[in-house]
Each structure stands twice: as C-alpha cells, then as structure tokens.
C-alpha cells in the first residue's frame, strides 16, 4: 500500500488565536492552547477538523450535489448512515467516520524551540460580543482573547502521514491536498482579522494539475 508523509508548515499572515474551546474555559478570557513546552500550537485533531470542513465544501462544489457528502460531526448523519446509506462518501474515505478509520494521521503543528521567545510574548485583545437580538454591544459580552502577535513570522510545523488503500489510488491524497490549499483561516476569528494563514507542503507528492486530475477521476462528477 502506498505510504505518504507530508511535511506541513503553517505560515500565519495575521495574529492568531487557537484556543482549547473546552467547557470550563472562562467566557471572558480565552487563553491560547499551549503544548508541554508552554508554546502555542495547533493540535492535529483541530487541523483535521478544519481540513475536513474545506474538503466538504470542495466536494459539494465539484459534484454540484449537496448529498455527495455526509454531515459530520453527528455520527447518525455520517456514512454509512445518511444521506448515502451503506456507502462512504469521499470526505469519509479521506478523513474517516465512526465506522471507517481515516487513512491519514494528523500530527500536531508545533513551533521550533528557536521561535519560543517570539511565541512567549502573547497579547490580550479586547473583543466585544454583539447581541443579535438587541443589535447592540452589550457590556456583559466584553471579553479578552489571548493572541500570538508575531505574524507574519510565526511558523508551526508538523507531519501528516498515511497509508492509502491501492483501490483508492491518489483520490484521498488529492482531496487532502486540495483542502490544504483552500484553507485560509483558522481559529474562528474571521470578523476580527485573526488567524489568516497559508499551509505549505514541503515537496508535495502531487502537482496542482495532478490534484485536479485525480479529483476529477475520483469524485462522482457528472452523475
């Protein structure tokens, strides 16, 4: 079975915030998630989640079929349940489902020790939540977000490894690479201009035309 190993570098173009997003996190202060060395990092599971979301958009757009992809993360709405009973959609065949292990393993993206000082000097940013109903900023929705301000110099690196079934060919790899090209923002800060990035793959195994060609071959396009 063909093995792949992708060296991934995340180049942040703006300050970013990658939080734990866990319950128990204070509603008014959103701290950065940190690794065992105290450095901000991007967990592989979070990277996988945002790439899956990009892949869903890509497959729906290319197939022009909203039912070409299931509805993660609810297990009962994922393959082989709805909407394609007994089948696994291209996104599940790349990122997995409760009943289908992903052929890829997503490692954490971490900072090199030499960037430790850069990453240590985080700042707190004020944000103001806006009540949709009142349409105005409410004082009790004021919060602070801890961000890494060092962009565009900050780099996080990691590895995605995989073993893809020969019957699939390069389809899952092409969808993964397409999602990495499409991903431009992470951390939910679109409205505040946080978390814009570019993911680079060192020595990518497929060129851009090859990615396109593999997707056209692998996805159920045109019926």
Residues 6+ apart with CB under 8 A from 153: 118
* Shortest Å, Cβ 55 to Zn ion: 10
Strands 137-147 and 123-130: antiparallel
- Single out the residue of 53, 11, 72 nearest to residue 178, CA to CA: 53
* Shortest Å, Cβ 80 to Zn ion: 8
179 near 55, Cβ under 8 Å?
yes
Place of tokens 């090209």: 181
Q: Which stretches within the chain are classed as H helix? A: 44-63, 90-95, 116-120, 171-182, 208-218
* Shortest Å, Cβ 176 to Zn ion: 15
Comparison of 61 and 141: residue with beta carbon closer to Zn ion: 61
Q: Which two tokens stand for residue 27?
A: 């509603």
Q: Under the rule (CB under 5 A), what is the footprint of Zn ion?
A: 70, 79, 89, 92
* Shortest Å, Cβ 84 to Zn ion: 7
Comparison of 101 and 209: residue with beta carbon closer to Zn ion: 101
Comparison of 89 and 164: residue with beta carbon closer to Zn ion: 89
Comparison of 89 and 219: residue with beta carbon closer to Zn ion: 89
- Single out the residue of 100, 82, 91, 103 nearest to residue 63, CA to CA: 91
* Shortest Å, Cβ 209 to Zn ion: 27
Distance (Å, whole) CA 214 – CA 163: 17
Comparison of 97 and 110: residue with beta carbon closer to Zn ion: 97
């Amino acid at each position: 079975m063909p093995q792949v190993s992708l060296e991934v570098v995340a180049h942040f173009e703006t300050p970013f915030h990658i939080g734990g997003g866990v319950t128990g996190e204070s509603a008014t202060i959103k701290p950065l998630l940190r690794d065992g060395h105290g450095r901000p990092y991007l967990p592989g599971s979070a990277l996988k989640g945002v790439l899956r979301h990009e892949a869903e958009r890509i497959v729906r757009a290319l197939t022009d079929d909203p039912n070409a992809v299931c509805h993660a993360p609810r297990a009962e709405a994922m393959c082989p349940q709805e909407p394609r009973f007994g089948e696994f959609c291209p996104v599940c065949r790349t990122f997995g489902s409760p009943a289908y292990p992903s052929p890829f393993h997503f490692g954490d993206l971490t900072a090199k020790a030499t960037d430790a000082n850069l990453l240590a000097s985080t700042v707190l940013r004020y944000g103001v939540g806006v009540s949709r109903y009142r349409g105005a900023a409410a004082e009790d929705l004021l919060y602070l977000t801890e961000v890494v301000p060092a962009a565009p110099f900050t780099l996080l690196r990691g590895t995605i490894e995989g073993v893809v079934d020969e019957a699939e060919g390069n389809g899952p790899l092409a969808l993964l690479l397409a999602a990495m090209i499409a991903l431009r923002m992470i951390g939910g800060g679109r409205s505040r201009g946080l978390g814009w990035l570019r993911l680079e793959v060192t020595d990518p195994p497929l060129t851009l035309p090859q990615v396109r060609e593999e997707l056209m071959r692998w996805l159920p396009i045109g019926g």
